[in-house]
């Protein structure tokens, strides 16, 4: 036999041995897999509790995978979750207010427009003038939804979250205080209760700011009502210069600073407030 024939025969034998070995391993592996499946079926069939636990784990895993897939797909829907409205889509009076507030407080007109729309929708349902709601927001936070005071008042309406935690239950909990719409709605509820309890807007505002007992609010009530009046004028299309508005606010600046300092030192735990 030639050297070539010997080499060819050796390769053939080697290939045959490899094929037989692969078949044996695969066959054995499939047999073991089948045996494992059979044992698992027998075990789950005789142990209902174990089967139920396994089903729960499988469902949880599938749900987790589903949530992960959704989170990757939901980024494109971010615009639907944004608290913003095009001011061009608003009625004239609301658009006037939104643009004026945007310029005065140096915030984007789109989120301000959404707050104006919400105030005009929720105000009448609670027998509150929408401009009063917006004026409270302006004075309390200057439309900063993440504002927080030293006494724990939070968000646009500076509601004391820990005092009114029950009002945030329908919104998912206390962290909703930093959601603009949730904070606005809770603030409106607190303001409505304060006015109803005290019999007038002025007295209600004093309680809202935490000065119902003392009667001295550091000029807060006058400042809110002045801002409300300006907003009413703006809604009618009247020209209200921003410099004039700022100057009017500045007249009370010294007194307001004293009042803010007093609030930092005071504790209002025994008095209902925002």
Please check whether residues 161 and 256 belong to one and the same domain.
yes
Mean pLDDT, the chain, whole residue set: 78
> Is residue 16 domain-shared with residue 55, that is, in the same domain?
yes
Assess if residue 101 is contained within a domain. Answer: yes
User: What pLDDT, on a 0 to 100 scale, did the predictor assign at position 95?
Assistant: 97
Number of domain units in the chain: 2
For tokens 């993440």, name the residue.
146
Q: Are residues 219 and 106 in the same domain?
A: yes
Q: What Å distances lie between residue 102 and 19, 62, 144, 242, 260, CA to CA?
A: 78, 46, 12, 11, 25
Residue 103 predicted with pLDDT over 70: yes
The answer to whether residues 44 and 136 belong to one domain is: no
- The top-scoring range by mean pLDDT among 75-89, 213-227, 235-249 is 213-227
Same domain, 149 and 210: yes
Q: What is the CATH number of the domain that holds 113?
A: 1.10.530
The pLDDT-based confidence of 67 (bands split at 50, 70, 90) is low
Q: In terms of domains, do 54 and 188 share one? A: no
Domain boundary among 44, 79, 114: 79
Q: What is the pLDDT of residue 54?
A: 60
Within a domain: 1 = no
In a domain, 2, yes or no: no
Query: Residues in the chain, how many?
Result: 274
- The residues, ordered by sequence, that sit 6+ positions from 107 with a Cβ below 8 Å of its Cβ are 101, 143
Q: Do both 143 and 252 map to the same domain?
A: yes
Q: Is residue 202 included in any domain, yes or no?
A: yes
69/173 same-domain check: no
> Same domain, yes or no, for 193 and 240?
yes
Per the model's pLDDT, the better-predicted residue between 266 and 99 turns out to be 99
* Position 240 in a domain: yes
State both tokens at 7.
């080499």
**CB under 8 Å to 50, separation ≥6 — which residues?**
43, 44
Please give the pLDDT value at position 25: 57
103 and 188 part of one domain: yes
Which is higher by pLDDT, 57 or 118?
A: 118
Q: What is the pLDDT of residue 241?
A: 84
User: For residue range 122-160, what is the model confidence (pLDDT) as tens digits?
Assistant: 999 999 999 999 999 999 999 999 999 998 999 999 999
Per-residue pLDDT tens digits for 162-194 = 999 999 998 999 999 999 999 999 999 999 999
- Where in the sequence is the domain holding 31, given as residue range(s)? 12-79
pTM: 0.64
């Amino acid at each position: 036999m030639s050297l070539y024939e010997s080499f060819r025969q050796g390769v053939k034998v080697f290939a045959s041995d490899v094929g037989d070995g692969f078949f044996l391993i695969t066959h054995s592996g499939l047999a073991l897999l089948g045996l494992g499946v059979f044992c698992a079926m027998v075990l789950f069939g005789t142990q209902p509790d174990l089967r139920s636990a396994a089903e729960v784990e499988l469902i949880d895993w599938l749900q987790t995978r589903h949530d992960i897939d959704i989170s990757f797909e939901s980024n494109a829907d971010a615009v639907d979750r944004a608290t913003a409205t095009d001011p061009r889509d608003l009625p004239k009076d609301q658009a006037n207010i939104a643009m004026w507030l945007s310029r005065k407080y140096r915030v984007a007109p789109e989120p301000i427009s959404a707050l104006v729309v919400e105030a005009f929708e929720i105000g009448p349902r609670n027998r509150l003038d929408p401009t009063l709601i917006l004026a409270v927001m302006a004075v309390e936070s200057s439309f900063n939804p993440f504002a927080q005071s030293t006494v724990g008042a939070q968000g646009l309406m500076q509601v004391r979250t820990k005092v009114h935690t029950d009002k945030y239950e329908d919104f998912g909990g206390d962290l909703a205080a930093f959601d603009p719409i949730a904070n606005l709605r809770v603030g409106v509820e607190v303001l409505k209760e304060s006015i109803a309890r005290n019999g007038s807007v002025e007295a209600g505002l004093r309680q809202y700011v935490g000065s119902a007992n003392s009667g001295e609010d550091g000029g807060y009530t006058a400042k809110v009502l002045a801002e409300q009046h300006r907003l009413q004028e703006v809604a009618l299309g009247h020209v209200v210069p921003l410099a004039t508005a700022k100057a009017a606010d500045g007249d009370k600046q010294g007194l307001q600073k004293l009042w803010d300092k007093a609030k930092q030192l005071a504790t209002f735990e025994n008095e209902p407030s925002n």
